[in-house]
Amino acid sequence: MQMHIDQLRAVTTLLYDELATVNGGVVDIPDVLYWSIPLEERRDPYKHPRDLTIGHTSDDVGHLNAILTGEHEPIRYALVWLAAVLREVGEGA
Protein backbone atom coordinates (compact mmCIF):
# COMPACT_ATOMS: atom_id res chain seq x y z
CA MET A 1 0.00 0.00 0.00
CA GLN A 2 1.30 3.46 -0.86
CA MET A 3 0.17 7.01 -0.34
CA HIS A 4 1.75 10.01 -1.98
CA ILE A 5 3.30 12.52 0.43
CA ASP A 6 1.15 15.26 -1.12
CA GLN A 7 -1.94 13.22 -0.15
CA LEU A 8 -0.69 12.86 3.42
CA ARG A 9 0.03 16.58 3.54
CA ALA A 10 -3.43 17.42 2.16
CA VAL A 11 -5.36 15.21 4.57
CA THR A 12 -3.22 16.44 7.46
CA THR A 13 -4.02 20.04 6.55
CA LEU A 14 -7.74 19.25 6.41
CA LEU A 15 -7.61 17.60 9.82
CA TYR A 16 -5.59 20.44 11.36
CA ASP A 17 -8.03 22.98 9.90
CA GLU A 18 -10.93 21.10 11.51
CA LEU A 19 -9.07 20.94 14.81
CA ALA A 20 -8.41 24.69 14.68
CA THR A 21 -12.07 25.37 13.99
CA VAL A 22 -13.23 23.21 16.88
CA ASN A 23 -10.53 24.15 19.38
CA GLY A 24 -9.83 27.75 18.43
CA GLY A 25 -6.22 27.14 17.46
CA VAL A 26 -4.97 25.64 20.74
CA VAL A 27 -5.12 22.09 22.04
CA ASP A 28 -4.44 20.75 25.50
CA ILE A 29 -2.05 17.82 25.53
CA PRO A 30 -2.26 15.93 28.81
CA ASP A 31 0.98 15.10 30.57
CA VAL A 32 0.42 11.35 30.69
CA LEU A 33 2.27 8.08 30.60
CA TYR A 34 1.17 5.52 28.01
CA TRP A 35 2.03 1.98 26.98
CA SER A 36 4.43 1.66 24.09
CA ILE A 37 4.63 -1.68 22.30
CA PRO A 38 7.80 -2.56 20.36
CA LEU A 39 7.28 -2.72 16.60
CA GLU A 40 7.81 -6.47 16.25
CA GLU A 41 5.22 -7.26 18.91
CA ARG A 42 2.77 -4.59 17.77
CA ARG A 43 2.60 -6.21 14.33
CA ASP A 44 1.88 -9.73 15.54
CA PRO A 45 -1.81 -9.88 16.43
CA TYR A 46 -1.56 -13.56 17.40
CA LYS A 47 0.68 -13.00 20.42
CA HIS A 48 0.09 -10.83 23.44
CA PRO A 49 2.89 -8.26 23.73
CA ARG A 50 5.33 -8.89 26.55
CA ASP A 51 8.00 -6.19 26.18
CA LEU A 52 5.84 -3.19 26.97
CA THR A 53 7.61 0.07 27.67
CA ILE A 54 6.32 3.41 28.87
CA GLY A 55 6.08 6.58 26.82
CA HIS A 56 5.43 10.06 28.18
CA THR A 57 3.69 12.83 26.30
CA SER A 58 5.91 15.45 27.91
CA ASP A 59 8.95 13.71 26.38
CA ASP A 60 7.24 13.59 22.99
CA VAL A 61 6.37 17.30 23.10
CA GLY A 62 9.90 18.08 24.27
CA HIS A 63 11.40 16.26 21.29
CA LEU A 64 9.06 18.04 18.88
CA ASN A 65 9.84 21.44 20.40
CA ALA A 66 13.57 20.71 20.09
CA ILE A 67 13.05 20.21 16.36
CA LEU A 68 11.07 23.46 16.12
CA THR A 69 13.83 25.45 17.83
CA GLY A 70 16.55 23.88 15.70
CA GLU A 71 18.14 22.13 18.67
CA HIS A 72 17.58 18.79 16.90
CA GLU A 73 17.28 17.90 13.24
CA PRO A 74 13.91 16.71 11.94
CA ILE A 75 14.27 12.96 11.67
CA ARG A 76 11.82 10.38 10.41
CA TYR A 77 11.38 8.87 13.90
CA ALA A 78 9.94 12.19 15.07
CA LEU A 79 6.73 11.08 13.37
CA VAL A 80 6.40 8.52 16.18
CA TRP A 81 6.52 11.31 18.76
CA LEU A 82 4.04 13.34 16.75
CA ALA A 83 1.75 10.30 16.45
CA ALA A 84 1.71 9.84 20.23
CA VAL A 85 0.71 13.48 20.72
CA LEU A 86 -1.90 13.35 17.96
CA ARG A 87 -3.39 10.19 19.46
CA GLU A 88 -4.04 12.07 22.70
CA VAL A 89 -5.54 15.01 20.81
CA GLY A 90 -7.62 12.76 18.57
CA GLU A 91 -9.00 10.76 21.47
CA GLY A 92 -10.35 13.92 23.02
CA ALA A 93 -7.53 14.97 25.31
Would you give per-residue pLDDT tens digits along the chain (93 residues)?
999 999 999 999 999 999 999 988 899 999 999 999 999 999 999 999 999 999 999 999 999 999 999 999 999 999 999 999 999 999 984
Q: Which amino acid is at 28?
A: D
In this prediction, residue 25 carries a pLDDT of 86
How would you class 64 by CB atoms within 10 Å of its CB: exposed for 0-12, middle for 13-18, buried for 19 or more? middle
What is the pTM (predicted TM-score) of this model?
0.89
The DSSP bridge pattern shows strands 33-36 and 53-56 to be: antiparallel
In this prediction, residue 4 carries a pLDDT of 98
**Greatest CA span in the chain, whole angstroms?**
42
